[in-house]
Amino acid sequence: MMFLAVDWPSILSFALVGFLLVVVMLVLLVFIMKAMGAAFVSHKKAQPVEKHELREEEIAAIATALKLYKSSRHDKESEVITIHQIKRAYSPWNSKIHGLTQMPDYRK
């Protein structure tokens, strides 16, 4: 009885129209997002790199050139990083006695 009391044309119309509206709105968003994506991707499209196999001699030559170039840009160093001693030369600038509040002298 409850089944028959329902206003079926109205219920079915609401359901169909409601679902179609959801679909239409999200399809619209698909197009908008595709357009946005296309705008961003087209800017970024990199030129295809031509494939070219390097021979072993060429690779060795490039590596040597790079090694020589980098060596020439750097001073020779001992490559020893151990700290043997620390020089703490006295200076009034690093003197602790000038940085701390003096204790008042106690006078009898």
Partner 1 sequence: MINFLSANILDSLVDFVGQMGFTVGDWGNYVMIAVSFLLMYLAIVKKYEPMLMLTIAFGMLLTNLPGANMFHSELFAGGHVHWDIFVNNAGLLDYLYLGVKLGIYPCLIFLGVGAMTDFGPLIANPKSFLLGAAAQVGIFLTFIGASALGFTEAQSASIGIIGGADGPTAIYLTSKLAPELLGPIAVAAYSYMALVPVIQPPIMRLLTTDSERKIRMTQLRPVSKKEKIIFPIIITVIVTLLLPSAAPLIGCLMFGNLMKECGVVERLSKTVQNELMNIVVIFLGITVGATATAEAFINWQTLGILVMGIVAFACGSAGGVLLAKLMNLFIKDPAKKINPLIGSAGVSAVPMAARVSQDEGRKYDPSNFLLMHAMGPNVAGVVGSAVAAGILLAFFG
46 binding partner 1? (CB under 8 A):
no
Closest CA to 6 of 14, 21, 19: 14
Q: How many residues bind partner 1 (CB under 8 A)?
A: 28
Looking at the Cβ atoms of 45 and 52, the one nearer to partner 1 is: 45
16 binding partner 1? (CB under 8 A):
yes
Task: Quote the tokens at residue 71.
Answer: 């060596």
45 binding partner 1? (CB under 8 A):
no
Residue 11 Cβ vs partner 1, minimum distance, rounded to whole Å: 5
How far is 19 from 26, CA to CA, in rounded Å? 11
CB 98 within 8 A of CB 92: yes
